[in-house]
Structure 1
Amino acid sequence: MQRQDNIISFDGQESPKRRISLDANSRRLIDACRKLVVKMLPQLMAGLFEKLDDAMYELADKSEHNSLQSTYFNTMRDLRKDRVRIDREFCREVLDRYDRFWETGEVDVSQRSFDELSRESEMSLLDDNELEDSLALVNMISKGENRYSRELYALGRRFAHIANLADEVSSQNNPLAPAVICTAFQESLRSLPVELPVKLIIYKQFDKQVMHYVGGLYDELNLLLGKAGVIAKLTPRVRRNPVAPAVKQAKHDLHGDSELSEEVDELQAEVFERLQGLLANRRGSSSYPAAGGVGGVSLPSVDTVELLGALSALQQSNVVMVPFGAAEQHQDDLRQRLDSDLRMRDGSEVQRALGDMDNDTIDVISMLFEFILDDHSLPDAMKALLSRLQIPMLKVAIIDKTFFSRKVHPARQLLNNLAQAAIGWNEASDRKSDLLYQKIESVVKAILTEFVDDPSIFTELNDDFSSWWEKEQRGADIAEQRTTQVSRGKEQLRAAKLRVTEEINSRLQMQPVIPHVVIALLKDGWKDVMLLNYLRQGPDSDDWKESLEIVDKLLWSVRPKEEYAERQELLRNIPELLRNLRERLNSISFDQHKMARLFKELQNCHISCLRGKELPSPVNTAMAVAEKQVSFPDSRLLETSSLLADSEVIETPSVPHDEFTEIAENLEVGTWLEMDQKQGDGKLRVKLSWKSDVSDAYIFVNRKGVKALDLTVQGLAARFREGSARLLSDGSMPIMDRALDAMLGALHDTREGAVSA
């Protein structure tokens, strides 16, 4: 009989067709996703047909009856003949449903549940072959939805975001859901002349070669959309699922050595196994019994569920606290408590033992927290808080071994984010008023009191903490930008002041006789005109160049003119010179009465020059040089400038260039340091926020972006030299990654030492 398609919509009911409106950016995103589907589906199908050919040949070779052997060979021939058609129709079916979704927001698939199939079978609406075919399809779909629930959830959220839909796109109405892919494959096989048993074999291979690896497609789609800013923090930026061999081969053919990234992913997945192998070298010298027994005597193992229950009891009692510098002792204390609570000993006799995997997990987590306690990038108070997470993290690692290999595991992310936020924290006199300390403490308490065996709490707490921390960072970034702008403004002002004084004073020193009125004009007003032009327009601007030309013309105008031609030229230029002086002095609100008096004195100088007479009240080279120099100590412009709110950076005496100077000179903006405060006021954690391009001034801010310290390169080098300044981790590598690397290195060194011994 003819099948009826079920139209799946977002509200679970049939609804009128609607159209989704997409802007240009959204259209580019869905087109990019479509291209990814167009690229990867044929690669997956290529792997399927290769395996189908091998499977049919193997089945034919093992067949005891000629008729069955002929069936498999005929199917192999039909698949080879129809491969292009099946591949083309399969991809077209998937892409048609994908395209229709972006028009209507609906997915049209022929998907029936197990209950519907059972009812139709009982009512004899389906014959046996159709029932088995449908059951095989529904089973594949169900497995795919369960296997890729996280990936489909993320993809559905992102598709809903792009389509501007109020509700998320569920796994059932996702245009690339397992139902869409499996149904498309079923449709592509309709014209293939094969019997049901052979078709079920084809379905099985499709499940192995396509559905098993379609998670890689979901990963790539989520990565693409995440990098494009579509709910960027919803899913990790790494691949979760295995990549099909055919896809790997296609990448290798295109990119050659880029296959190395796949090997890195595989190595990441083996982290815990590598740790186990290295820990095995230490097993012989440890005091606890392995699951295999003691002295060759086999002992029963403690059930993992029972172990988790004992750890939960310890977690709730909150008695397991890691004291600084006593991690090994703490590990022994934990095992003694477990021995007691799980009754693994009767007096001195061992009755039961932990399993090898649970033993190894306890060892790894203990070493992990030992590293955290030894990490000098964390303040001691924050170490004390984070150390209380040891048992919860141990429980997570026992429940889910991907904790060690998945860099985006929620519990691992939370620990990384808490440690990252703690780097710049400074001890407060009242911790109850310190928002960061209170926030981290609340997260730790929530885990200790609420976490039993559901790791989803780490996702919720991490999302909440990340959201809170982002707001804190935005405020800190704004404050830091203001600090940097002030520092940069002061630096520009210093450079401008230096340039103005150099330009004016170099001209003054070249002219032996200069009237007092000219010195007064330059000192009291014109240097501010030039400073303003330099700051606003820059040294390459016409205004700056004109201000220098006016200085040259002013100095030329007060030289005695003996030649008639010179006097005529001066007579022609005086009006323009006075006009330029007046306009630019007015632009800085120069005192009008003072300007009138100076201009009158300047007029007398010009009259004397026109008559070829000596200038009145000269300042000559025999007088103090300081009287012929322009400076800015009483500048009217500087007194009102907001750029001079803080004191100047104090220079330190020059010292020989050494390794500490190299460290200070090469320090990058964003680097965190811990510095001893003077008079024994404790330690201060600061971040390098700004480096001068002109001088050797450095500005440091605290975690809130507020200026905390300014030093010169030599001043910072001196602190490094005396040990009162120390570099901290910049947090670019999360604490869990650093811990695992350190653990692998330490265990590897232990193994190498044992081998060499």
Structure 2
Amino acid sequence: MTLFQKQQLHIEFSAQLRYWIDSHLDGFFEQLDEEFFSLAESAVNDLAQRSYIDAIRELRQNREVLSSNYRARVLLATEKFFLDYRSYQQEFLRTQVRIGQDQNSMELINQDVLEEDLAVMRVAHHAENRHLSRLKELSALLARVTPTQTLKRNEVPVSPGVLANALQYVLQEWSGDLQTKLSFYEVFGKHCLDRLEKLYPDLISLLEKAGLKPVENLLQKPAQARQQQEQRRTGTSGEAPRRFGQMDEGTLFGVVALVRQLEDEQRESLGLPSQSIADFPEDWPVASVETIANVIGILQSELSMNPPRDIRQARVTQNALKGQLVSELGKTVTDQKVRLQRIDQHIIDVVNMLFEYILDDPIIPAQMKVLLVRLQMPVLRISLEDKSFLTDRSHPVRDLLNNLAAAAARWSDEGDYAENSIYGRIEQAVQRILNDSTAGVDLWIEVNEDFETYVLNEERGASVAEERLSQVAKGKERLSQARQAVDEYLTRLLPAAVPAPVYQIVDEVWRDVMTLILLREGEGSNEWNKAVRVLERLIDSIIPRADPEERQIQMAKIPLLLADLRRGFASISYDSGRAAMMFKQLQQCHVTTLRGLQPATMKYQPHEKAGMEGGSLEAILSDEFMQQASELKQGQWITWTTGAGKELRGKLSWRSEVTDLMLFVDLRGRRVAEMSSSELADLLRSGRASLLTSIDRPIIERALAAIYNTLTRQMPGHVLPA
């Protein structure tokens, strides 16, 4: 799998895991609370009872922190597994029982530590036996993601052992005694680990949909697998090439097989050179790899000295290279009286078509195409030297091309061409390959490892930035919801018309006071009820009374009302000068009321709700573009052109379920845009936006599929292999 495929799979895997965690943690803590209460009731002495009562208090105080820390720990294990496996092994696959290597006696071990470790092992072992078959399926599928292609069931990032160890890690900060910790593990085993059957089938289905297949054969014969891999690298296997259709993807070898069948007229229609380069006497010896590599190296050096600067130059250069390469190779083999194998010419044809596809690819930005197309000669040289490039989906050259193209596809031109920018790092990777015209596959591996490390670091930073943006967006939504709820409450509570000073206090101050309380304390809290009563007393204070005694009672209540209002003003740090003016105006209003007169009033108008634009809901949903926008999933990418003509691209990071607002971020997790479904639908409808639906598919696979379809169209009678 490419790095970006792993990243996408990690996102989807983590989303499933997060949902399972969130759906079980609340019940777990509630059951644990009941367990502590029951143990406190049945405690044999006051000391034990006090321990459990303290545990209840600590649990209720720190429940949110414990929940958050546990979720973060488990999700970190998943991230490390997919994106940094060595780190995952070191941090999460530790020995559970912490026995010192230099200690020869169990008596030297802290008994509390040992008992806690054994409790963790017990609940994990029980759960592993309960879910054994599913764990085996998961380990066989997830082994595809690991560098060694092997994975034991207790090494799965969602295995009971890893999940239980995460809880043990979080409980390092727990101040309670050992018995309360043991209660954590007992309840966790029953309430969470025993219910993994609700998680594992969904994860297995997700992995299978992502194209992962079990690696049982590799698990059974790791030595044989390593031997075959080494033979492929060294070319010493002595085995015949695999038949086309034997592998599970469209291979370059299969495309070459089609190119071999093309007639001259068909080659011409596809823009391929004639086959004269291979039409030499059969008794001439075959040209050596070095002979061909020297010709390619010369062209590579010339291209490095005068690289194309824009997409137009890149197309011109690419077309010129096709003819120039054929011409130079023909001249060289004629002078040396050697011949070129037809398979080599066909490889040249396919590599040319591969880079033509890159130039025409609708997903990669033009500036990035100009960089990537410069790798054409090095790719051609490697593919002629190492024929496994044709059939090996994980060939190092293909890996690097796929990773560079994946990063390029997510890049927007914002003028950042610095050395450590995405553009700068792709340019460095390309230049390192170009600088050594004789380097073999090892250089591609080295460059790819460096680039993957860079991308992983960028991904971590982007994840943090994206999470912060999402929290800000969620905060805005909560504020919007709270304001709307307060406005609805005020509309019900306030009379149709109120005096201007009261209107001003309610609209500018008390609305914010109630919103803040609603966010912090919630509706129905003591603070909320106090704020509502102050508002009710304010309204009552400006209702004229005919009875003098009632007016006296009304006047006596005003000082306490004003004091409560001032406390509310202070709670939101309202401007003191403007507050004094408001209270002075309210005083005049009270004077009028206490004389038995009605102050001048005005109609209270709550803040307008954001309405739906573009007609009825039914009409909008029937629009295909609105449906595309509404069905856009988190993690999917789009590209669009702004009103100023600038092309942008972003990933959907968060969508509000209330306001339908969508937050888009770039490759580094920075905010690119916020828009609603209707705004995105308008862009799609006008042709100014498009969904990058194939962005997660590696560039080589996209190119092969396109080339294969093009070739089969040239052969109407061709039947696709089964």
CA contact (8 A) 1:310 1:342 kept: no
Structure 1 residue corresponding to 2:247, chosen from 267, 288, 305: 267
Quote the residue 1:531 is aligned against.
515
Deviation at 1:292, TM superposition (A): 8.6
1:471 lines up with 2:451 in the alignment: no
Letter in 2 for 1:316: S
Letter in 1 for 2:605: Q
Structure 1 residue corresponding to 2:640, chosen from 647, 659, 675: 675
Quote the residue 2:572 is aligned against.
588
Between 1 and 2, higher relative CO (CA 8 Å, sep ≥ 6) is seen in 2
Residues 391 and 238 from structure 1, CA distance in 2 versus in 1: closer, same or farther, beyond 3 angstroms? Answer: farther
Quote the residue 2:440 is aligned against.
454
Where do 5+ consecutive residues of structure 2 fail to align? 1-83, 96-145, 163-210, 223-242, 268-272
Deviation at 1:387, TM superposition (A): 0.6
Residues 268 and 727 from structure 1, CA distance in 2 versus in 1: closer, same or farther, beyond 3 angstroms? Answer: same
Residues 692 and 323 from structure 1, CA distance in 2 versus in 1: closer, same or farther, beyond 3 angstroms? Answer: same
CA contact (8 A) 1:290 1:355 kept: no
Residue by residue over 1:455-477, the C-alpha shift from the partner in whole angstroms, topping out at 9 and shown as x without a partner, is 11112111212222333344444
Where do 5+ consecutive residues of structure 1 fail to align? 1-153, 166-215, 231-236, 249-262, 346-350, 633-647
Quote the residue 1:694 is aligned against.
658
Deviation at 1:353, TM superposition (A): 3.5
Quote the residue 1:714 is aligned against.
678
TM-score (norm 2): 0.56
Letter in 1 for 2:325: L
Letter in 1 for 2:688: S
Residue by residue over 1:443-491, the C-alpha shift from the partner in whole angstroms, topping out at 9 and shown as x without a partner, is 1111011252421111211121222233334444444444444444333
CA contact (8 A) 1:269 1:406 kept: no
Letter in 1 for 2:255: L
Quote the residue 2:689 is aligned against.
725
Structure 2 residue corresponding to 1:375, chosen from 354, 361, 376: 361
Quote the residue 2:258 is aligned against.
278
Distance of 1:570 and 1:721 partners within structure 2: 63
Structure 2 residue corresponding to 1:342, chosen from 330, 333, 337: 333
Q: Residue 296 of structure 2 aligns to a residue in which SS?
A: helix
Residues 420 and 649 from structure 1, CA distance in 2 versus in 1: closer, same or farther, beyond 3 angstroms? Answer: farther
User: After the TM superposition, which residues 171-186 of structure 1 pair with which residues of structure 2 at under 5 Å, given as runs?
Assistant: none
Q: Percent identity?
A: 28
Structure 2 residue corresponding to 1:418, chosen from 396, 404, 413: 404
Deviation at 1:569, TM superposition (A): 11
Letter in 1 for 2:630: E
Residues 615 and 411 from structure 1, CA distance in 2 versus in 1: closer, same or farther, beyond 3 angstroms? Answer: farther
Q: Residue 314 of structure 2 aligns to a residue in which SS?
A: coil
Deviation at 1:386, TM superposition (A): 0.5
Distance of 1:722 and 1:740 partners within structure 2: 31
**RMSD, aligned CA:** 5.0
Count residues in correspondence.
498
Letter in 2 for 1:584: G
TM-score (norm 1): 0.54
Quote the residue 1:551 is aligned against.
535
Quote the residue 1:442 is aligned against.
428
Larger radius of gyration: 1
User: After the TM superposition, which residues 464-613 of structure 1 pair with which residues of structure 2 at under 5 Å, given as runs?
Assistant: 464-509=450-495, 514-515=498-499, 518-539=502-523, 541=525, 543-544=527-528, 546-552=530-536, 554-556=538-540, 559=543, 581=565, 583-590=567-574, 591=576, 593=580, 597=584, 608=594
Q: Residue 693 of structure 1 aligns to a residue in which SS?
A: coil
User: After the TM superposition, which residues 208-227 of structure 1 pair with which residues of structure 2 at under 5 Å, given as runs?
Assistant: 219-221=149-151
Distance of 1:452 and 1:226 partners within structure 2: 42
Distance of 1:395 and 1:241 partners within structure 2: 32
Letter in 2 for 1:523: D
Letter in 1 for 2:700: M
Residues 538 and 371 from structure 1, CA distance in 2 versus in 1: closer, same or farther, beyond 3 angstroms? Answer: farther
Deviation at 1:692, TM superposition (A): 3.4
Q: Residue 219 of structure 1 aligns to a residue in which SS?
A: coil
CA contact (8 A) 2:351 2:380 kept: yes
Letter in 1 for 2:513: V
Residue by residue over 1:72-98, the C-alpha shift from the partner in whole angstroms, topping out at 9 and shown as x without a partner, is xxxxxxxxxxxxxxxxxxxxxxxxxxx
Residues 160 and 664 from structure 1, CA distance in 2 versus in 1: closer, same or farther, beyond 3 angstroms? Answer: closer
CA contact (8 A) 1:362 1:394 kept: yes
Letter in 1 for 2:599: S
CA contact (8 A) 1:428 1:434 kept: no
CA contact (8 A) 2:382 2:441 kept: yes
1:744 lines up with 2:674 in the alignment: no
Which moved further from structure 2: 493-502 or 457-466?
A: 493-502
Q: Residue 726 of structure 1 aligns to a residue in which SS?
A: strand
Distance of 2:433 and 2:154 partners within structure 1: 33
User: After the TM superposition, which residues 624-643 of structure 1 pair with which residues of structure 2 at under 5 Å, given as runs?
Assistant: 624-625=602-603, 628-629=604-605
Distance of 1:375 and 1:159 partners within structure 2: 39
Q: Residue 149 of structure 2 aligns to a residue in which SS?
A: helix
